[in-house]
Amino acid sequence: MSQLRTILICDDEEELAHELGEFFEGNGWKVDVCVTGMAAIEKLRKGLAPHVLITDLRISDFDGAQVVSVARELPPEMRPLMTIIITGHVMDTARAVDFMCDYLYVKPIDPDVLLANIGEFLAHRTFPAAGRS
């Protein structure tokens, strides 16, 4: 991986958010962690423009799907390439498309599977050389 990949993690379960962050950092990612939906939206609007956005579906009283929809409406240069929702809820019939995200995982997630899926997904995307920090 020649380029530094960036990820924004949003989960009110702080320990999980930090463990996830540590995992991605350990794998060479630049990580931002938020524990509220509002903070995540603010960062996105300020032009964080991460490659990947991971959000919990329920962040306290906030809806993770809202974070995703805000992200998708950002100008293309600020928009995350990939959006992921993770949830601990009963989601037998739910599909990623229901939340307009690219992937939907039910907790607990196997981090290796997560990483592999992200790698595969991003490999098919044009990776911008510049404009991203």
Min dist CB 28 to another protein, Å, is 11
Q: Work out which of 35, 96, 109, 122 binds another protein, going by CB under 8 A.
A: 109
Q: Work out which of 41, 82, 86, 104 binds another protein, going by CB under 8 A.
A: 86
Under rule CB under 8 A, residue 26 binds another protein = yes
Task: Give the integer Cα–Cα distance in Å for 20 and 115.
Answer: 11
**CA-derived radius of gyration, the chain:** 14
Task: Give the integer Cα–Cα distance in Å for 75 and 53.
Answer: 15
Task: Give the integer Cα–Cα distance in Å for 8 and 32.
Answer: 5
Residue nearer to another protein on the CB measure, 34 or 44: 34
Q: Which residue stretch of 29-37, 74-82, 88-96, 117-125 sits at the interface with another protein (rule: CB under 8 A)?
A: 88-96
Residue nearer to another protein on the CB measure, 92 or 120: 92
Residues that bind another protein (CB under 8 A): 13, 15-16, 19-20, 22-23, 26-27, 86, 88-90, 92-93, 106-112
